[in-house]
C-alpha cells in the first residue's frame, strides 16, 4: 500500500536573467508502507531539490512545473499553504545535513523540539518537554542536553538531535538528506544503525538521499538513481546491486570499493554532470557513458519498464532489454 506516490515531478529554477534551469524532470516513485527508498546521485543531480519540491520548501527561485505528490490520497502540490504546514513534520519530516546551522544556534535544542511538538499537537508544555526527553533518549542523547545549545553538541550528536526532532510528531515518512556526509566513518555507522533501528521500531518509511551507494545498501529496500535531474534507474535494492542495467548505475557500483578485492583500482567516472543551462538534447549521461550509441546524443531516452518494478532510462541495445514498454 503506497503511502506516497510521486508522479512526474518537475522542478525548475529561475535565474536572474529569466531562463529556467530544469533541475528535476519527470521523477516518479512510490513509497510503500514499511519500505524505505534510497535516492542516489552525484551532487547537483537534483535529489535534494526533488525532496524540497515534495514538501514545497523550494527557495523563491524554485518552481514546481508539473507533477503530483499524492500522500494518503491527497495531492500535496495542490493543497493550500496552511494545509501544507500541517503535513510538514506531522506526516512527512526531513532531516538536513547536521551542519552547525541546521539548528538555530541561539536557541536551546530542547526548545526547538518543543516548538515542533506544540505546533502540531495540542499538548501542554510540560507534556511536550517529557516527550523531548523521550525522543532524545531514543537517539541516545541524555536529557540534560536538552537545555544546551547546538554548538555544545558534537557533529554526530547534532545529527541525532535533528533526527529526534524530526520524529517528534510521529511522521510516517522521514526524509534524510545526506545524513552522513561530513561525518567521520564511525559516526556514519552510528547514524545508519540508528536509522535502521528507528525504521524497525516505529515502522517508519525512510527516504535516504545520498551520493553514497554503500550507505543505501544497509537500509533501503528500493533505490532510485538520479542523474542530471532525471531518473536513471529505479528498482529494488536487490536488483540495483545485482542486475543493474543503466550504465551510470553500473559505474557507480564499480566506483564503490570492493571489500573482497581491495587491491582492484577504484573506477571513477570521468567528466562532470551537465550544467543546467546547457543541457544536451539527448541523454544527459551520454558524454560520460561507456556504452553510448549514436542515438543517445540525439534523443533523450524514455523511462522503460524492464520488468515490473524495474525502470531504466536508457536506449535499449538490440536484444538487451526485452519486453520493454514505455512507462
Partner 1 sequence: MQRSDYLIRRVFFALATLVVVIGFNFFLFRILPGDPIKSIARSPRLTREAREKLRVDFGLDKPVFFDGERLRKGDVLGAFDTQFTAYVRALLHGNLGISYRSRRDVAEVLAERVWRTVVLVAGAETLALLFGVVLGLVSAWRRGTRLEMTILLWALISWGLPNFFLGIILLLLARGHLPVGGMATPGLKPEHGLAYWADVGRHLILPTLTMAIVYTSSYVLIMRSSVVEVLSEDYILTAKAKGLNTFQILRDHALKNAMLPMVTMVALNLAYTVGGAIQVETVFSWPGIGRLMYDSVQLRDYPILQGTFLLLALSVIVANLLADLLYSVLDPRVKAE
Partner 2 sequence: MQQLREIWRTFRRRPMGIVGALMLFSVVFVAIFAPWLAPYDPDVKIDIDPEDLLAPPDVEHLLGRDDAGKDVLSQLIYGARVSLTVGFVASFMSMFIGTTVGLIAGYIGGRIGNALMRLTDFLLVIPDLPLMLVIISIWGRGLWKIIFVIGMLGWTYNARLVRSQVLSIRERQFVLRARAIGAGSLRIILRHIFPQVLPLILAQAVLSVSGAIIAESSLSFLGLGDPTLVSWGMMLNFAFERAISRMAWWFLLPPGFAIVWVSVGLIMMGTTLEEIVNPRLRTHHLFDPRHMVALIAGVRPRAEAEGAME
Instruction: Give the binding site for partner 1 (CB under 8 A).
Output: 55, 57, 60, 82, 85-90, 93-94, 96-97, 99, 101-107, 115-116, 119-120, 149, 151-152, 162, 165
* Nearer CB in complex with partner 1: 153/285: 153
Contacts of 255 (CB under 8 A, 6+ apart): 266, 267, 268, 269
Q: By the 8 A CB rule, do 134 and 55 touch?
A: no
Return d(Cα 320, Cα 163) in angstroms, integer: 43
* Nearer CB in complex with partner 2: 106/266: 106
The phi-psi region of residue 132 (left if phi > 0; otherwise alpha if psi is between -120 and 50; otherwise beta) is alpha
Give the shortest CB-208-to-partner 2 separation in angstroms.
Answer: 15
Give the shortest CB-24-to-partner 2 separation in angstroms.
Answer: 10
Q: Residue 238: enclosing H or E segment and its boundaries?
A: helix 237-243
| Residue 46 partner contact from partner 2, partner 1, none using kind-dependent CB cut-offs of 5 to 8 Å | partner 2
* Nearer CB in complex with partner 2: 188/210: 210
Give the shortest CB-119-to-partner 1 separation in angstroms.
Answer: 5
* Phi and psi, residue 250, nearest 5°: -60, -40
| Residue 220 partner contact from partner 1, partner 2, none using kind-dependent CB cut-offs of 5 to 8 Å | none
Give the shortest CB-147-to-partner 2 separation in angstroms.
Answer: 26
Q: By the 8 A CB rule, do 117 and 123 touch?
A: yes
| Residue 199 partner contact from partner 2, partner 1, none using kind-dependent CB cut-offs of 5 to 8 Å | none
| Residue 16 partner contact from partner 1, partner 2, none using kind-dependent CB cut-offs of 5 to 8 Å | partner 2
| Residue 54 partner contact from partner 2, partner 1, none using kind-dependent CB cut-offs of 5 to 8 Å | none
In the 8-state DSSP scheme, what is residue 167?
T
Q: Residue 155: enclosing H or E segment and its boundaries?
A: helix 155-166
The crossing angle, in degrees rounded to 10, of helices 109-120 and 81-90 is: 120
Give the shortest CB-49-to-partner 2 separation in angstroms.
Answer: 6
85-98 core/surface letters (b: 16 or more CB in 10 A; e: else): eebbbbbbbbbbbb
Give the shortest CB-214-to-partner 2 separation in angstroms.
Answer: 20
Interaction site with partner 2 (CB under 8 A)? 13, 15-16, 21, 23, 43-44, 46-49, 59-62, 276-277
* Nearer CB in complex with partner 1: 107/320: 107
Amino acid at each position: 500500500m503506497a503511502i506516497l506516490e510521486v508522479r512526474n515531478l518537475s522542478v525548475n529554477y529561475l535565474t536572474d536573467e529569466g531562463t529556467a534551469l530544469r533541475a528535476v524532470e519527470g521523477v516518479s516513485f512510490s513509497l510503500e508502507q514499511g519500505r524505505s527508498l534510497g535516492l542516489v546521485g552525484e551532487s547537483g543531480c537534483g535529489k535534494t531539490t526533488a525532496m524540497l519540491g515534495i514538501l514545497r520548501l523550494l527557495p523563491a527561485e524554485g518552481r514546481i512545473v508539473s507533477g503530483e505528490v499524492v500522500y494518503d490520497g491527497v495531492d500535496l502540490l495542490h493543497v493550500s499553504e496552511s494545509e501544507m504546514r500541517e503535513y510538514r513534520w506531522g506526516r512527512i519530516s526531513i532531516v538536513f545535513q547536521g551542519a552547525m546551522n541546521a539548528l538555530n544556534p541561539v536557541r536551546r535544542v530542547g526548545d526547538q523540539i518543543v516548538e515542533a511538538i506544540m505546533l502540531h499537537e495540542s499538548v501542554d508544555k510540560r507534556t511536550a518537554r517529557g516527550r523531548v526527553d523521550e525522543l532524545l533518549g531514543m537517539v541516545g542523547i541524555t536529557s540534560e542536553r536538552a537545555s544546551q545549545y547546538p554548538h555544545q553538541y558534537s557533529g554526530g550528536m547534532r545529527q541525532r538531535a535533528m533526527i529526534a526532532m524530526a520524529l517528534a510528531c510521529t511522521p510516517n515518512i522521514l526524509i534524510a538528506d545526506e545524513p552522513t556526509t561530513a561525518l567521520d566513518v564511525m559516526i556514519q555507522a552510528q547514524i545508519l544503525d540508528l536509522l535502521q533501528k528507528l525504521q524497525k521500531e516505529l515502522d517508519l518509511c525512510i527516504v535516504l538521499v545520498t551520493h553514497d551507494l554503500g550507505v543505501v545498501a544497509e537500509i533501503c529496500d528500493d533505490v532510485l538513481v538520479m542523474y542530471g535531474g532525471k531518473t536513471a534507474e529505479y528498482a529494488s535494492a536487490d536488483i540495483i546491486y545485482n542486475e543493474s542495467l543503466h550504465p551510470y548505475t553500473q559505474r557507480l557500483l564499480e566506483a564503490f570499493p570492493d571489500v573482497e578485492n581491495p587491491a582492484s583500482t577504484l573506477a571513477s567516472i570521468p567528466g562532470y554532470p551537465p550544467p543546467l543551462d546547457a543541457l544536451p538534447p539527448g541523454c544527459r549521461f551520454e558524454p560520460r557513458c561507456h556504452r553510448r550509441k549514436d542515438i543517445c546524443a540525439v534523443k533523450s531516452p524514455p523511462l522503460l519498464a524492464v520488468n515490473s518494478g524495474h525502470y531504466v532510462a536508457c536506449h535499449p541495445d538490440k536484444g538487451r532489454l526485452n519486453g520493454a514498454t514505455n512507462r
